Structure 1
């Protein structure tokens, strides 16, 4: 655990030996019901039910009413089933900082479900942060600076280059499909002579939960800004490309730069209010994607955690 002991996701443990049937029965008999319980608790951990890759679909069908494709997703993943993906494929020795999934997009999943297929050799917890507490943990100066929103910039190559291609990002090889998706999202985009695509989107820095009305920190400025990567990685990127040509970057909504010290404060305080969810094979974690941000701790050995999303 971290130093935040006043909140943790609700653990629901198997009582009769586990198995998919017991899990589905427990989900169906939750009081006050899955939807209301998730809003109240923010996150639910199902332990000891022994969910297997063969029974995962059955569990996800009950937890996620409408599984979504990871279209316009910015992190590297591999699709392994019916809108089921590997969690972010990022070097295992690094921490993935806190974020609400696709908070940079015009629409985002309301729920995420994580499934542990292979227990980490060591470490590898999924930290989760109450996004309202994250907002409250930031200095007034930072909250006020972000009040006007942020501008996300993506430079997506045509198949060869740094970062993700536009084909992988939008899960299509057709430009017309990309343009149809982007139309109505509020984004501006430009196709370049080399076949790459530049997308710019202005989004708010906070949002309110549709049920509780609570305001939460809800953007990925610290993950899109070079300063959030650490000094060494940022320096390496700067030596390769000018900032405006990075695969992804972020500014304030008016185009002015975001100070590096704001970025590191956001990153560090999000992690400081996080609670770690440790993994054992067969575990499932369900979170409300507005109320909770999530990340990943470094790990050793093997680790395979899958993720699915729902509107």
Structure 2
């Protein structure tokens, strides 16, 4: 079975890629079902992963996903690990992997942002599911972040150069009372699960990646982030990951350059205009499922009228740090081998492979954002454990189920038909 390529009126084309890519049920299956969608995802998982890399957003429409449980089955069909939500807004848990979207009144606007951009680690993929569309408004708006960078460089090149060189500092204020009607509707003690200010500051720096915490007399707290560069590199593209616009229209946060100097007022105006001119409003239909690359796409919420029920599910982001990648490059340049120094790093590397951020096949390994192929036969391991026979594994199983580094190594070779006896004389 094949998906039928659909179209929505609001879609845009960036380069040669439609945004978002809309997929409808196969010909002859005009009334799709969630079971059909799950079956097709399992069958075409690799193709869909590649499609997401190109288009950054996929809208599954016409499959009549009726319940949160059916939505969870769709998410699980991709075989990506769950990413639990952590952040300053309340989310109600609906099923094991499904949560409500922001529960602030639907009449409030939520500006463009990457999910959990305030947190140390963000989900790499995010699914939205429309259980009930708003009778009016309430669209989810999406925007490729690399477009923001290119447009800002065209219009304000000096500002972009300054913010990359100096970084920027911004502040986020928590709610005064739990379950308030604001977008940021968690108090600091609920968010950080402690009443102790010293412990709260410690946890904030660990989990939220902020630099300082100020506790206010009104019961709120202010998290200070930066200096940091809002522009990051993903998949070979420079994306505007940390927005300079406020998360909501009512926030009182302050944004400055890293040296304390103020942003030119023009920068906010141009940034807002660029986001408005280049976004796509998803006008929801009941049963829609929208999949986004959260590292490349920002999303927002338009004001609407209740009732509106949009649910979300998130998947983990696996990555290799620049420091680790630099070691990989050095070992590749010096010896022609990709050197993994520890079981933990190999596990992390394999997780990136599983998440689709590295392509691994019989001819080699390619990290798209770096564009450097790493042939499988040129992998070397510096650990000397090999695992025993009962730990040897079948290609269908995942590396994370095994402890010994040798078993993990053998998994990689077994999956791609390159299994062989360990070379005990390999370079250390």
TM-score normalised by L of structure 2: 0.60
Matched residue, 1:156: 174
The equivalent position to 2:49 in structure 1, one of 35, 58, 72, is 35
Structure 2, unmatched stretches of 5+, are 1-8, 317-428
Please give the alpha-carbon distance, in whole angstroms, between the structure 1 residues aligned to 2:12 and 2:38.
Answer: 31
Shift of residue 305 of structure 1? 0.8
The equivalent position to 1:278 in structure 2, one of 274, 279, 283, is 283
Please give the alpha-carbon distance, in whole angstroms, between the structure 1 residues aligned to 2:176 and 2:314.
Answer: 27
Q: CA RMSD in A?
A: 2.9
The equivalent position to 1:10 in structure 2, one of 11, 21, 36, is 21
Matched residue, 1:167: 189
User: Radius of gyration: which is bigger?
Assistant: 2
1:98-144, Cα deviation, whole Å (9 max, x unpaired): 22223333321111110101022123222211111121112223322
Answer 1 or 2: higher relative contact order, Cα 8 Å, separation at least 6: 1
Shift of residue 263 of structure 1? 1.6
Is the contact made by 2:106 and 2:304 (CA closer than 8 Å) also made in structure 1?
A: yes
Matched residue, 2:74: 59
TM-score normalised by L of structure 1: 0.80
Please give the alpha-carbon distance, in whole angstroms, between the structure 2 residues aligned to 1:78 and 1:143.
Answer: 38
User: Secondary structure of 2:94's match?
Assistant: strand
Which range moved further: 123-132 or 158-167?
158-167
Matched residue, 1:256: 261
Structure 1, unmatched stretches of 5+, are 238-245
Please give the alpha-carbon distance, in whole angstroms, between the structure 2 residues aligned to 1:28 and 1:178.
Answer: 43
User: Secondary structure of 2:160's match?
Assistant: helix
Question: How many residues are treated as equivalent by the alignment?
Answer: 289
Shift of residue 222 of structure 1? 0.2
Is the contact made by 1:96 and 1:296 (CA closer than 8 Å) also made in structure 2?
A: yes
1:50-72, Cα deviation, whole Å (9 max, x unpaired): 2122322222223472222222x
Shift of residue 38 of structure 1? 1.4
Shift of residue 32 of structure 1? 4.2
1:210-258, Cα deviation, whole Å (9 max, x unpaired): xx2111111122025xxx73xxx5xxx8xxxxxxxx4x43322223333
